[in-house]
Amino acid sequence: MKDIFVIAGPTGVGKTKFSVMLAKKINAEIVNADSMQVYKGMNIGTAKIKEDEKENIPHHLFDICDTFYDYTIYDYQKDCRNAISDILNRGKKVILTGGSGLYIRAALYDYKFNKEETKNDYSNYSNEELYAMVKNIDSNTTIHVNNRRRLERFLDKNNNGVIDNVKSKPLYDFDIIGLTTDREKLYNIIDERVDKMVTEGLIDEAKTFYDKGDNSKAIKTAIGYKELYEYFNGDISLEDAINNIKRNSRRFAKRQFTFFNNQFDMNWFNVNYDDPDVTLNEIFTFIDR
C-alpha cells in the first residue's frame, strides 16, 4: 500500500466523510486541499468539517489564515509538502482531500513558480482546461472560453508566476481516488446542501464578514459569500442569492469534473450513499492491491 492518497471529486460528493472513514481504516492523517477552507471563519459556506466529524483524526491546513491574507498556490505548495513530510516521518499515511485541483497538483508535482511574468507553453491544453484554470483563480472572470489568447495572458499574469503544468513530474508515489455519482443526483445533493447551509446560519456568517467591510479576494471568490454580498448590497433578493449559490455550485462541480479528468490519472468510484461502507471497501481493495 502506498503512503499518500488523494480523495478528490466535485463539491458535495462526500469527500470529507470518506476521507475520515479511510483515515481510520489505514491510520492516516488528513491534509486539506480546498483553497477556501484554509481561511478562518469561512465555515458553513465552505462546508468545512466540524470538530465532532473529525472522529479524532488529525486534520492539517484548515483555518490557518485570516481572509485578508492572500494565501496563494505557492503558499499551499510549501505548507502541504511540510505537512506531508511531518506526517510520513511519524509513520502515518497521508490523505489529501478537497476539490482544488491546482492546489493538489502544485503540492504533489515538481512545479516551479516564476516570480516574474513569463510566456508559458499551453499548447497541450484545450480551451476548456485553460478556462477551468482561470476560473480556479477568478471565479468571476468575464473571459470567454473561446478567447484562448486572453486565457493564456491571464494565466501568465495571475497564477503567481504560473506553474509549468506541462513538464511537471510527480514528486511522490500516490493514488488519486475520485468520488462520483450520477450528475442529476449530485446536483440535487448540492441544492439540498445549500438549503442546509442557510438553515445552519450561512447568511449570518456571510453578514459578519460584510459588516466588517471584508472585501478580500477570498470572500469575493468563494461561492456562497459573493452571492450573499449582492443581496446585502440590495442588488438582488435573498431568494435570487440562494438560487445563484446553487447554480454556481453546480457549475463549479462540472468544471471540477473536467479538470480532474484532464489533469490526473483518476480512479473513479461511484458513491453508494445508502451504504457508504460498500464504497469504502471498494476503495480499500483498490489501494491495498
Q: What pLDDT is attached to residue 111?
A: 81
- Per-residue confidence (pLDDT) for residue 232, from 0 to 100: 98
Q: Is the pLDDT of residue 14 over 50?
A: yes
- Of all residues in the chain, what percent are helix, strand and coil, respectively (each to 5)? 50, 10, 40
pLDDT at residue 159 in the model: 58
Grid cell 472513514 is found at 21
pLDDT band at 123 (very low <50, low <70, confident <90, very high): confident
List, in order of start, the domains of the chain with CATH numbers.
4-111+168-287 (3.40.50.300)
**Mean pLDDT to the nearest integer, 99-107:** 93
* In the predicted structure, residue 189 carries a pLDDT above the cut 70: yes
Tens-place pLDDT, residues 216-271? 999 999 999 999 999 999 999 999 999 999 999 999 999 999 999 988 999 999 99
Q: What angle do CA 263, 269, 272 make, to 5 degrees?
A: 145
Q: Is pLDDT of 200 > 50?
A: yes
In this predicted structure, what is the pLDDT of residue 118?
Answer: 59
Average pLDDT, the chain: 92
Across the range 156-173, mean pLDDT stands at: 67
What band does 162 get if pLDDT is binned at 50, 70 and 90? very low
Nearest to 173 by CA among 93, 113, 246, 100: 93
Q: Which three cell numbers stand for residue 33?
A: 486541499
Pairing assessment for the beta strands 59-60 and 267-270 based on DSSP bridges: unpaired
Q: Given this model, what pLDDT does residue 125 score?
A: 82
Neighbours of 196 (CB within 10 A): 12
Q: Which of 119, 32, 74, 70 is nearest to 218 (CA)?
A: 70
Residues 6+ apart with CB under 8 A from 166: 121, 122, 123, 124, 125
**pLDDT for the residue numbered 166:** 47
What pLDDT score was predicted for residue 116?
53
CA distance 223 to 218: 10
DSSP type of residue 49: P
- Is the pTM here over 0.75, yes or no? yes
Query: For 46-96, how does the pLDDT look when each residue is reduced to its tens digit (9 = 90+)?
Result: 999 999 999 999 999 999 999 999 899 899 999 999 999 999 999 999 999
Residue 156: per-residue pLDDT = 78
Q: Which of the four pLDDT bands, split at 50, 70 and 90, describes residue 167?
A: low
How far from the centroid of its chain's Cα atoms is residue 114's Cα?
Answer: 23
